Structure 1
Amino acid sequence: MKNRLIMLEGLPGTGKSTNSFKLYEQLILGGKKVRWIHEVSQPHPVLFFTESCMTKEEYRDFKKKYPEVAALLDEVAEVRETTVGIDQETVGRRAQDAKEQAWYQELLKYDAFPTSLDRYEFRALEKWAAFARNAAKDEDTIFILDSSFFQYQIFTYLLKAASYERLEEFVSKIAECIEPLNPLLIYLYREHTEDSIAFMKEQRGEQALVSTWERDKGEPYYQSKQKDVTAFYDFLKDYAKSAESLFETLKFDKRKIEISANNWKAYEDEMLGLLEIPRIEIPAYKAQEGTFVNAEHGLSFAIKDNVMKDPEGVQRHLSPKSQDEFFVEGIPTILKFFEEDSTRLLGQQIIPQWTETGTVYTREKNEE
């Protein structure tokens, strides 16, 4: 395939993760090696969610101060050119009672956010450059990246009330980093931003939008805005304008897909056509049923008729990859059943603990 990096962007609620999943599924069924980096993959190779970021000197000093966790930190650290990233959630899970320890509390003081834009740009470009270098070495893998190239950057810059020109300059530097991967950008949009806002209200509930506004209302962008959720609607309109302008500046492969009709199969076909790959029919296999438990973490999920009710109560369709492996709808997780009553999680971990790669769940005996 020509494009080693496929990026899906658009306003919240435009189907970035949904369509990333479909591409992930189809590419793997077609025999490709694929890594889908979900918006909330953990640790995330280009974004900052739960990362503590130190200089290399700070990292050395930290390990000297807390030698009891030095080996653990080295195990999870992402070492870049001048900085080191430590995912807080990962180390918190691997060390017993970590969040009560002095070393963990000090680690939190190095949280990558909040920070100035100058510092963010420096750290973020190091992450993008490291990702691009590592991806270039993995020549057989196709990478899918959603909500990272536009969404995270636009949110960051708009909330800081930074100029569009500064945003465009930064995005152009990211584009330079990833150019060797022959990226393809797919931008999903509705003709009217108001339609996307209405869709989000319908699908997520207005309270979800209110919660986002309440989370961010202290940021510079909102200081001259109305003091209710309608300010977030204005934010989304400004987001759309920025994204449209950024799209026009890009020199690599790109395509806009208008999704107002919600004809998702047609959009999938268009994306597959862009990649010049045929649609593969999903094989007809049925997943093992019952309640599957991981006693160590106190987590469980239930499966019936190829539908999983995950540990957070979300229902996710399971689509077969093979007789023993099943894609989990909407996330880069694959269930691999083995023996008669166990399943191991493969793929890419996201923030919820239950998705940790390699975790084994065993079916409760009374449900055999």
Structure 2
Amino acid sequence: MIRKLYIVEGIPGSGKTTTANWLAKVLSEQGKDTHLFLEGNPEHPADYESVACLNENQLLEMEKEFPFIRNFGVNKDRWFFISYASLSDSNPDLHKALQKFDVYELSVENFCEVTLLRWQEFAELAEAEDKVYVLECCFLQNPFTFLLAKHNVSAEVIFSHIEKIAREIASLDPVILYFEQDNIKESLDRVRKDRSVEWFEFLTWYYTGQEYGQSQGLAGETGVLHFLEERKKLEKRCLEQLESKSLILNNSNFDWDMCKEQILAYI
């Protein structure tokens, strides 16, 4: 089996992006046709970024105001998908209207359905190609933040969903590189220096102002740290249960040379 997939995961500021960029460069230098997709890339082949997902009834209702809406998307199974990121300038009204149908606004059941479909499509594509993919955040972080922070779903439900994804991509012989740090506050402080105030305000609301945060009485930076500690604990438990290969790297000292040596030895 030829390895075609590397996934980089971990909490904010732990080194995911730095490592994903470095690893893609290393693989390219080895002569592999390597494709890197970082968090937030609207072209991500295994995730949804600024993509609306509508059922037929919702689409019919939207057609009353936007008669040509079907020209902007594609039908898959019982869903109609529209990547609306590029519409912000050309069709701002449609862009705004589609935001409420974002994949990350779906119900838990529908979210699990369409994201599993996305991974299935990606696995089929990657298996047929002579390419290597390096993906950031999409395997653990996005399901955990959506299912746990937004909906306070049980760990068992989250693990089950991720295990289904793992089975779909097993043919790609994936390796999951997971970064953890002992001091999450220090890690968060580092990344906040490079992000906007609005980024942290949104992060705080997402982690503390929705179902999980409300159930735990979380607020502010303390609440964010509480959520990230819980997420790290659950993500590591999830990795222990998966058959996929994974390497947990403790990057508390930000010793990149050591991490790179560990990764190269493992892969």
Q: Which has the higher contact order (CA 8 A, sep 6+)?
A: 2
Residue 144 (structure 2) pairs with residue 154 (structure 1)? yes
Q: What is the aligned partner in structure 1 of residue 79 from structure 2?
A: 83
Alignment partners' CA distance in 2, 1:137 and 1:63 = 36
- The runs of 5 or more residues in structure 2 that have no matched partner are none
Alignment partners' CA distance in 1, 2:97 and 2:219 = 35
Alignment partners' CA distance in 2, 1:151 and 1:189 = 13
Q: What is the aligned partner in structure 2 of residue 254 from structure 1?
A: 246
- Provide TM-score, normalisation by structure 1: 0.64
Q: What is the aligned partner in structure 1 of residue 120 from structure 2?
A: 129
How has the CA–CA distance of structure 1 residues 105 and 237 changed in structure 2, closer, same or farther, with 3 Å as cutoff?
A: closer
Alignment partners' CA distance in 2, 1:28 and 1:64 = 48
CA contact (8 A) 2:46 2:119 kept: yes
Please report how far the alpha carbon of residue 107 of structure 1 lies from its aligned counterpart in structure 2 after TM superposition. 3.6
1:93-116 deviation line (CA, Å, top 9, x unaligned): 5xx3x114xx54544443223222
Alignment partners' CA distance in 1, 2:99 and 2:144 = 25
Q: What amino acid does structure 1 have at the position aligned with 2:34?
A: V
Aligned 1:1-368 pairs, distance under 5 A = 2-55=2-55, 66=66, 68=68, 70-71=70-71, 73=72, 77=73, 79-93=75-89, 96=90, 98-100=91-93, 103-138=94-129, 140-159=130-149, 160-190=151-181, 192=182, 195-205=183-193, 209-223=200-214, 224-275=216-267
How has the CA–CA distance of structure 1 residues 199 and 118 changed in structure 2, closer, same or farther, with 3 Å as cutoff?
A: same
Alignment partners' CA distance in 2, 1:5 and 1:79 = 27
Q: What amino acid does structure 1 have at the position aligned with 2:84?
A: Q
Alignment partners' CA distance in 1, 2:62 and 2:123 = 28
CA contact (8 A) 1:24 1:144 kept: yes
Alignment partners' CA distance in 2, 1:158 and 1:202 = 24
Please report how far the alpha carbon of residue 69 of structure 1 lies from its aligned counterpart in structure 2 after TM superposition. 5.9
1:29-81 deviation line (CA, Å, top 9, x unaligned): 2221011121111133333331111246866886798565654x2xxx45534
Partner-residue secondary structure (3-state), 1:143: strand
Q: What amino acid does structure 2 have at the position aligned with 1:47?
A: D
Alignment partners' CA distance in 1, 2:80 and 2:128 = 20
How has the CA–CA distance of structure 1 residues 235 and 105 changed in structure 2, closer, same or farther, with 3 Å as cutoff?
A: closer
How has the CA–CA distance of structure 1 residues 70 and 227 changed in structure 2, closer, same or farther, with 3 Å as cutoff?
A: closer
Q: What is the aligned partner in structure 2 of residue 289 from structure 1?
A: none
CA contact (8 A) 1:201 1:209 kept: no
CA contact (8 A) 2:7 2:175 kept: yes
1:284-338 deviation line (CA, Å, top 9, x unaligned): xxxxxxxxxxxxxxxxxxxxxxxxxxxxxxxxxxxxxxxxxxxxxxxxxxxxxxx
How has the CA–CA distance of structure 1 residues 196 and 228 changed in structure 2, closer, same or farther, with 3 Å as cutoff?
A: closer
- The runs of 5 or more residues in structure 1 that have no matched partner are 276-368
How has the CA–CA distance of structure 1 residues 226 and 180 changed in structure 2, closer, same or farther, with 3 Å as cutoff?
A: closer
Aligned residues: 262
How has the CA–CA distance of structure 1 residues 238 and 14 changed in structure 2, closer, same or farther, with 3 Å as cutoff?
A: same
CA RMSD across the alignment: 2.6
Partner-residue secondary structure (3-state), 1:31: coil
Alignment partners' CA distance in 2, 1:13 and 1:227 = 20
Percent of aligned positions that are identical: 21
Q: What amino acid does structure 1 have at the position aligned with 2:263?
A: M
Alignment partners' CA distance in 2, 1:40 and 1:78 = 21
CA contact (8 A) 1:8 1:145 kept: yes
How has the CA–CA distance of structure 1 residues 22 and 110 changed in structure 2, closer, same or farther, with 3 Å as cutoff?
A: same
Q: What amino acid does structure 1 have at the position aligned with 2:28?
A: I
CA contact (8 A) 2:12 2:191 kept: no
Please report how far the alpha carbon of residue 227 of structure 1 lies from its aligned counterpart in structure 2 after TM superposition. 3.2
Please report how far the alpha carbon of residue 199 of structure 1 lies from its aligned counterpart in structure 2 after TM superposition. 2.4
